[in-house]
Amino acid sequence: MLFVRASRLGDLLFCVPTMRGFRARWPEVESALLSNHYSAAILGSVVGPGRLLERIHAFKGREGDLGGRAGRALLAELKPQGYDLLLPLRPRRQLRRFAEQLGLPYLYPPCEGDPPAAPGHAVEQSWERLRPLGLEGRPPSIALPKPAHGSGQPPYLLCHPGCDETLRWKHSFAQLRGKVRRRIWPEGHWRELLQRASAELGMEVRVSSGNPREAAYVERLVRGLPGPKPRHHHGLSLSAFAGLVAGAAALLTVDTGPLHVAAAFGTPLVGLYGPSTPSFTGPWLPDGGGQVLERSLPCRPCQGRGVHCVQNVCMSEITPDMALSAVRRQIS
């Protein structure tokens, strides 16, 4: 079996329960994953003979690129492997063309174009792809082995503010146009929480960022805070970042990839949700644990599509007091 899923970090982790279910149901079948170039850094502990996956084929790009040059470049690598079936964990028409170029049968919904999104969590949607083969029951947890992290160090709260990569501003006085998906918590809320958290929780507070844009955003948050500044982890490899998340007493973040890394490692977590909905992209914790904070508003979940919301009410109504109380419950 050749699974295909190449997307953001959270989307990749959402597919792990389905691959785990496939392994449990058909342990004699070898399986591999065609995915992003960073997939081995997060899934390397479950790759090898007799493990969740026998191998990972990595490339730079996303599924949509496989119908073109990126897909043609992979043919020489994949054809000798002798796969019997290709399973897109998110069906896209480009993957049908890619499977046909490989000469592989593929499991794909009988419809023209990309199929509409099914109801349910993203993990459940991935699981549904295998029901035609006889997979039954409900998806298990992601449950990846914890990576190595510094032992014996004092407990710390890790805050990952994120930075909305899809936020594009085009101002015309009060009018806001363009694609807006504001999953960010107000800067004033983050500053208040960072000022209060260490004293009120009795532990060190650290902040993390991924790309340079996130790093600049975090530096702006901590600039001017009274007293010692929170330690800022940035420029880490994905494997080092995974260790940072695994070693935290708790993680506080928005709807972004690190939240799902914490869910995979069993790190206590608090997720702040606004335009997106936890019923679709919330942390996958079927056995309980973790906490999601959200506000009941008639306008959400909007997913930021076609919305002109300057105030970002769904995130601003989640207060620092609410976040700190949720973190206390998680670390207790």
Confidence at residue 87, expressed as pLDDT on a 0 to 100 scale: 92
Residue type, 69: R
Rounded to whole angstroms, what are the CA distances from 244 to 77, 150, 188, 272, 331?
Answer: 34, 8, 25, 20, 16
The residues, any chain, with a CB within 8 Å of residue 148's CB and separated by 6 or more, are: 243
Compute mean pLDDT per 10 residues along the chain, 332 residues long, and list them.
Answer: 91 95 96 91 89 92 80 89 92 85 83 59 92 93 84 88 55 34 85 95 94 91 88 92 95 95 96 91 90 89 67 90 98 92
All domains of the chain, ordered by start, with CATH? 2-133 (3.40.50.2000), 156-331 (3.40.50.2000)
Long-range contacts of 165-170 (CB under 8 A, 24+ apart): 165/213, 166/304
Confidence at residue 134, expressed as pLDDT on a 0 to 100 scale: 93
The residues, any chain, with a CB within 8 Å of residue 318's CB and separated by 6 or more, are: 185, 189, 272, 274, 293, 294, 295
Confidence at residue 182, expressed as pLDDT on a 0 to 100 scale: 75
- List, in sequence order, every residue forming a beta bridge with 87; answer none if it has no partner: 3
Confidence at residue 180, expressed as pLDDT on a 0 to 100 scale: 40
pTM for the whole thing? 0.89
d(CA 332, CA 325): 11
Confidence at residue 312, expressed as pLDDT on a 0 to 100 scale: 82
d(CA 65, CA 35): 12
